[in-house]
Structure 1
């Protein structure tokens, strides 16, 4: 019953935010790099940090994680309204990750591990933000990750927190998983959700000792990392907006429905996660299996990307 009330509350907060965003003209205008064609309210993902705050008030999450998510959300929301320089954004991410490290007691771990985890988490937060480009993709993918974490026995104690975040995804999804979205997540939504998922991923790996759980986020990770390498090879500025992710080619150049592409990405990740959980339960999720699984995913991704680009080039010629 508590979670149903939370869902109703989150929907109500979204509706109130829409009034505020409309009044103050907090909108996303389409440009040549966008995957949408009409003006849309930006920042509906503000419900994600609000969900974290609600979870904190209910005693579901620590103060450190709450402050971390709220910090990046506030800076990102300001950036949504008036673009900021890289410094305040990076500073907020660095402070937030330090708070996550504190919460997970990582400072007691081997010192050389900290910069590696820091770089990976910074990279994940930005990659998740880059992948937020079409209707439904962020919220559906986040919901799959949250559902997967909830399915693990080791996370039973965190079910109230995960369910609260799941309810926020449901509330936002009502207005975003549409042919014509009412609102976009904005940086406030994508970055705060990315930090939460990154935090929970590290927590799950620490508790379970299973590094293979990193593949719970592999679909986004592979598309983001390979696209970055391709853009670097082309000598493009990787910090500038672009339309060269595979999902963008599918939605923009090939004209597939945003919702279909979003369901494809989240559905593939859900299938991968189910396989990983099964392998772990039968004791077969070893490091060689994890690397083999990752390599197979990369090869499939590159093959699909190549075929998609070939089809796009054929259409241009025709």
Structure 2
């Protein structure tokens, strides 16, 4: 009954937000780099930091993680309405990651670990945000991650929190997982969700002692990294909007349904996550296995990307 009330509450909050967004003109107008063709409400992902805040009052989540998610959500929401300079956004991310480290007691780890984790967390948050480019991809991928973390016994105490965030994803997905979305997540949604998932990734690795769980983010990670490298080789500004990710090629240039592409990304990640859990249960999640999977996935990604790119060229010629 509690979770039924929560999903009803989250849907109601989304509907209320739509009224506010329409009144305040918080919208995404399509341009040459957009994957949508109609004016769409932006910021529906505000439900994610709100859900975290509600979970805090229900006793499901600590204050440092709540403060971290709400902080990046608030700054990102302001940025969605009035573009902010990079400095306040970076400072918000830095403080939020610091709160995550505090919650996980990482300041007691060897000092050399912290800069590495900081770079990885900031990189992950931005990569997750960059990947938010077509209907459904952010929420479906997030649900795949939440489901995977929920399956691990080490997170049994966090199940109410993970379920609460999953319900927030369902509420948002009702309006986003469509061929013509009612709303987009906006930076407020993608960045707050990225930080939330990043917390569980770091916790999983440190509690299990298995770095192999980094594969839980491998689909997004490979697409983001290879695309960034490709753009750098072309001497493009990687901070400018673009349509160079494989999922964008598939949905925009090749004409595949956005929801189908989003489901493929989420299901592929779920399959990989299942393999990781299985190998860990067998005691075979070794570093060499993890590296082999990353190399194989990266090579497959590059081959598919090259094939799709050639087809795009042929279509234009």
Superposition deviation, residue 269 in structure 1? 0.3
| Per-residue Cα deviation, 1:83-124 (whole angstroms, up to 9, x for no partner) | 011001001000000010100000000100000000000000
Look up the match of 2:137.
137
Distance 1:66 1:269 in 2: 26
Q: Which runs of 5+ in 1 are unaligned?
A: none
Distance 2:8 2:284 in 1: 42
Distance 1:182 1:223 in 2: 26
Matches within 5 A, 1:287-298: 287-298=287-298
> Is the aligned partner of 1:112 residue 2:119?
no
Matches within 5 A, 1:74-93: 74-93=74-93
Matches within 5 A, 1:1-318: 1-317=1-317
| Per-residue Cα deviation, 1:24-52 (whole angstroms, up to 9, x for no partner) | 11000001110000000000000000010
Q: CA RMSD in A?
A: 0.5
TM-score normalised by length of structure 1 = 0.99
Distance 1:259 1:63 in 2: 35
Q: Which runs of 5+ in 2 are unaligned?
A: none
Distance 2:102 2:278 in 1: 32
Q: Give structure 1 regions of 4+ aligned residues with deviation exceeding 2 angstroms.
A: none
Secondary structure of 1:107's counterpart equals: helix
Distance 2:58 2:211 in 1: 31
* Deviates most, 106-115 or 273-282: 273-282
TM-score normalised by length of structure 2 = 0.99
| Per-residue Cα deviation, 1:111-140 (whole angstroms, up to 9, x for no partner) | 000000000000000000000000000000
Superposition deviation, residue 4 in structure 1? 1.3
Superposition deviation, residue 283 in structure 1? 1.2
Distance 1:307 1:271 in 2: 23
Distance 1:299 1:276 in 2: 19
Superposition deviation, residue 233 in structure 1? 0.9
Distance 2:118 2:152 in 1: 25
Aligned residues: 317
Distance 1:234 1:120 in 2: 24
Secondary structure of 1:283's counterpart equals: coil
Distance 2:205 2:58 in 1: 25
Distance 1:314 1:66 in 2: 49
Distance 2:259 2:265 in 1: 10
